[in-house]
Amino acid sequence: MLTNLGAAALRLLPPEKAHRATLRLLRTASPLLPPAPADDPRLALTALGMNFPNPIGLAAGFDKDADVPDAMLKLGFGFVECGSVTPRPQAGNPQPRLFRLRADCAVINRMGFNNGGMDAMATKLARRQKRGIVGINIGANKDSIDRTADYELCFAALAPFASYIAANVSSPNTPGLRGLQNKDELQRLLETLTNARARGSYLPILLKIAPDVTPDALDDIADVTLASGIEGIIATNTTIARPPWLKSNQANESGGLSGAPLMAPSTAILKALRQRVGAKLTLIGVGGIASGVDAYAKMRAGASLVQFYTALAYSGPGLIARIKRELSACLARDGFATVSEAVGAGNR
């Protein structure tokens, strides 16, 4: 079992090697992992038409190829998001491309959508029993001629195995990808995905956006998303910004910054987005969560669900249970009988 002590040992390895070793360990240990203890009933909620045992999710990026979704669910996550995955396999950017900023409790990555491709993921997912909520985060190949078509291909291949699909248009590590957040391109992408869904069975669709958007761009994203008929937005991906107070020597590496420095800006985007869309969309808050207090802040800003990844690399799997305990304590302190009652409380 991947204990917190084992996680500490893995942190002695270079970051990418540690990540690969963690996935190997989880694949081996998955059949032996006992289910996590039952969650506090206050944490259960309904969102996106599904019943979540708790609102704490694993963000995309950890399990790019859907190797260990069931192991992560056993560790206590309420839902898991695999990917990002592209139609064709791709190696990603040259190494080194993953950097720990220990002094800042942060990470910089410029992975570049390294993954084994949609067909390999579909094969793995077809073998698993469909238990628990597993979303799939889809993207476009770096050398794609038609990126919208790439999303359509991924949707068609993976929708039968997914609880929801998240379209990632916000990674800073694929040149030009964030251009898909522009109004006209976003309209085309979301129309393509909703048309693809109409040809099959219903599946929630979400859009994952960047934290570096301007207020005007956020207006456009809100307007287009509301008009499109998709169900939600994931706010946010990593940032290309570099706060001047970062202490780590590798703070100026190129790529997306995640972890503690992302908490405030991503929550600000989340809150502004909730003010624009009201209760018409489900929002998932991501960025900088390392405690139940952080998760609670995202929910008060408007998130029905939250995700994290970077803090898991620093604190180990025991963090999952601790976040849920602390979130329950926040709800009890403020008199909320259910986690859903706290959603958007900071905007009222």
SS3 of residue 108 by DSSP: strand
- The residues pairing with 207 across neighbouring beta strands, listed in sequence order, are 167, 233
Q: Are 37 and 325 in contact (CB under 8 A)?
A: no
Q: Which of 84, 171, 258, 315 is catalytic?
A: 171
CA distances 314 to 70, 95, 198, 242, 266, Å, are: 21, 21, 42, 20, 20
Let me know: does 136 contact 82? Beta carbons within 8 Å.
Answer: yes
Written as one string, the DSSP assignment of 113-175 is: S-B--HHHHHHHHHHS---S-EEEEE---TT-S-HHHHHHHHHHHHGGG-SEEEEE---TTST
Tens-place pLDDT, residues 163-200: 999 999 999 999 999 999 999 999 999 999 999 999 99
Q: Say what percent of the chain tops pLDDT 70.
A: 97
CATH 3.20.20.70, applies to 4-347: yes
Residue 171 annotated to the active site: yes
Q: Domain ranges for the chain, please list them.
A: 4-347
User: pLDDT for 10-44, tens place per residue?
Assistant: 778 999 999 999 999 999 999 999 999 999 999 99
Place 347 in a pLDDT band, splitting at 50, 70 and 90: confident
Distance of CA 145 to the CA centre of its chain: 26
CA distance 100 to 106: 6
